[in-house]
Structure 1
Amino acid sequence: MNQRIALGRRGEDLALAYLEDANYEILDRNWRCRAGEIDIVARDAHYLICVEVRTRSGIGFGDPLESLTADKLARMRDLALAWRGEHPEFSGLLRLDAIGVLLTRAGEPKLRHIVGLGARN
């Protein structure tokens, strides 16, 4: 496994643990279809939540969440609807979240959770 993939996997593992600790129910991880991939699908009392995880090993290229573009958000919305289409037992509002994970050699990982990049019925 190359370093980039290992870094991404570590960030997703930390994001998943963070969500579980916050009492989110994890429904899926790395769900794929022809249009792309959702890193984490979870739910809370009110929403079905699709989470994009962005991980970096430093800030030389900026904050991990700075790499989220309008195109990626549109793709996330499409993927969330596709996931829900394959899982009709999970109805209700959809919410898009992002978790940025900064992993540096100097200290503890830093996570930042952006709640509600977009919500849809």
Structure 2
Amino acid sequence: MQKAREDGPVKQSKNSLGRYGERVAARRLTEDGLRILDRNWRCVEGELDIVALDGDTVAVCEVKTRSERSFQQPTEAIDQAKAARLHRLAERWMAERWPGHFAQLAGPEYDPGPADPQWAPDPPGGVRIDLVAVTNRLRGAALVDHLRGVV
């Protein structure tokens, strides 16, 4: 447990700040009507913070959290290498996890017709990669900015 410092608020570790940001982001996405399908999905290539369903679109959400005192804004944290990795991870998640989620969403009454594929079809709205930027303020609620399809 961290103790309060006399010169100001307790400094959060990078991991605890990130976990806090992911909880705040998931709550905001849910409040905005998205349905969370997965959180902190991991494979050998990396991790996806949040995968959600936004209407008929799968939204892969990268959460970036920064302190109000940080020099870098959350939106500056994704470079080309990170964006490429997110695209690869999204493809892998779709291959490994989407069929199970599709089966749950479609329900037992789903009966593909003769012209329909026998595997889970892609979501009608496709897949996009979003950034959820969380700024942890010294006072008051965190600021959350959901940027759709920016990666």
TM-score (norm: length of structure 1)? 0.90
1:69 corresponding residue in structure 2: 79
Alignment of 1:15-94 (within 5 A): 15-89=25-99, 90=102, 91-92=122-123, 93-94=126-127
Question: For 1:33-57, what per-residue CA distance to the aligned partner results, in whole angstroms no more than 9, with x for missing partners?
Answer: 0110000000122211100000011
Paired residue secondary structure (2:64): strand
CA drift of 1:105 comes to 1.2
Q: List runs of 5+ in structure 1 lacking aligned partners.
A: none
Stretch of structure 1 that moved more, 59-68 or 14-23: 59-68
CA drift of 1:62 comes to 2.1
Count of aligned pairs between the two proteins? 118
- Give me the whole-angstrom Cα distance separating, in 2, the residues matched to 1:64 and 1:106: 18
- Answering whether residue 104 of structure 2 is matched by residue 104 of structure 1, we say no
TM-score (norm: length of structure 2)? 0.73
- Give me the whole-angstrom Cα distance separating, in 2, the residues matched to 1:82 and 1:58: 34
Stretch of structure 1 that moved more, 48-57 or 107-116: 107-116
RMSD, matched Cα: 1.6
Equivalent residue letter for 2:82? K
Percent identity reads 38
CA drift of 1:83 comes to 0.4
Q: For the structure 1 residues 55 and 88, does the alpha-carbon distance in structure 2 shift closer, same or farther, using more than 3 Å as the test? A: closer
Q: For the structure 1 residues 111 and 88, does the alpha-carbon distance in structure 2 shift closer, same or farther, using more than 3 Å as the test? A: closer
Q: For the structure 1 residues 27 and 107, does the alpha-carbon distance in structure 2 shift closer, same or farther, using more than 3 Å as the test? A: same
Stretch of structure 1 that moved more, 53-62 or 28-37: 53-62
CA drift of 1:59 comes to 4.5
Q: List runs of 5+ in structure 2 lacking aligned partners.
A: 2-11, 103-121
